[in-house]
A and B are shown apart, each in its own frame.
Chain A
Amino acid sequence: DAGVIQSPRHEVTEMGQEVTLRCKPISGHNSLFWYRQTMMRGLELLIYFNNNVPIDDSGMPEDRFSAKMPNASFSTLKIQPSEPRDSAVYFCASRVEGGKETQYFGPGTRLLVL
């Protein structure tokens, strides 16, 4: 299995631009999580999907952030407009809900907003 796939791996953009991060979960996993990691705040859960439905988006910092999961094999996290404080590493993780609780993480997208 290829594991969780994220793209792009690195993104540099200017303040005000739209940023779209992509994730392909492991086939057969029905839960997907987006996390953000910074030195100051550590690893924070942004949003959780189960069977493609957003269950909890309480961690999404602002209305500038939105996430979708149009099907079981694809999810996006969008920031519009981006700000320098959004600079972080964004991770996607997936797992089988109701099975083993282990989450499998993607390699992350390192975002730098100038």
Chain B
Amino acid sequence: SQQGEEDPQALSIQEGENATMNCSYKTSINNLQWYRQNSGRGLVHLILIRSNEREKHSGRLRVTLDTSKKSSSLLITASRAADTASYFCATMASGTYKYIFGTGTRLKVLA
């Protein structure tokens, strides 16, 4: 099964609201990344958080990591219609070079 599982699978919110997506994983990790994928496009890197970090910010994005619970969350504040996309977490397990991608959360922001 996949290393990362996102929750919820789909999320629909109004413009201006905050969107929170969660990712759970199974093994010890070196780092965790979040990617965005617009329909029909490739994945775009958003933010990386290392295993010794607990929180990171980048613009309207806030990522938290709880290694004891093996989970991460991505918060998008003041969402915009342009944030409509699928969001994936990717984990690099300790001692490996590979990223394992989760199943993704489909976010729809309504104008």
Interface residues of A (CB under 8 A from B): 4, 31, 35, 42-43, 45, 48, 50, 55-56, 91, 93, 97, 100-108, 110
By the criterion CB–CB under 8 Å, are A43 and B45 in contact? no
By the criterion CB–CB under 8 Å, are B45 and A102 in contact? yes
- Contact partner of A42 (CB less than 8 A), chosen from B41, B97, B101, is B101
By the criterion CB–CB under 8 Å, are A45 and B42 in contact? no
Q: Interface code B17-50, partner A: CB below 8 Å = 1, 0 otherwise?
A: 0000000000000110101000011111100100
Q: How far is the CB of A38 from chain B (nearest CB, A)?
A: 12
By the criterion CB–CB under 8 Å, are B98 and A102 in contact? no
B47 and chain A: residue at smallest CB distance = A102
Q: Is B92 an interface residue (CB 8 A)?
A: yes
By the criterion CB–CB under 8 Å, are A106 and B33 in contact? no
- Contact partner of B2 (CB less than 8 A), chosen from A42, A100, A101, is A42
Q: Residues of A contacting B42 with CB < 8 Å?
A: 4, 91, 105-108
Interface residues of B (CB under 8 A from A): 2, 30-31, 33, 35, 40-45, 48, 88, 90, 92, 97-104
A50 and chain B: residue at smallest CB distance = B97
- Contact partner of B45 (CB less than 8 A), chosen from A91, A103, A106, A110, is A103
Q: How far is the CB of A111 from chain B (nearest CB, A)?
A: 14
User: In the complex, A93 Cα to B42 Cα: how many Å?
Assistant: 9
- Contact partner of B41 (CB less than 8 A), chosen from A50, A97, A107, is A107
- Contact partner of B98 (CB less than 8 A), chosen from A48, A97, A106, A107, is A48
SS class of chain A's interface: helix, strand, loop or mixed? strand
Q: Residues of A contacting B98 with CB < 8 Å?
A: 45, 48, 56
Q: How far is the CB of A67 from chain B (nearest CB, A)?
A: 15
Q: How far is the CB of A16 from chain B (nearest CB, A)?
A: 27
Q: A43-B88, A48-B98 are in contact. Are A102 and B103 (CB under 8 A)?
A: no
By the criterion CB–CB under 8 Å, are A105 and B97 in contact? no
Q: How far is the CB of B89 from chain A (nearest CB, A)?
A: 11
Q: A91-B42, A107-B42 are in contact. Are A101 and B104 (CB under 8 A)?
A: no
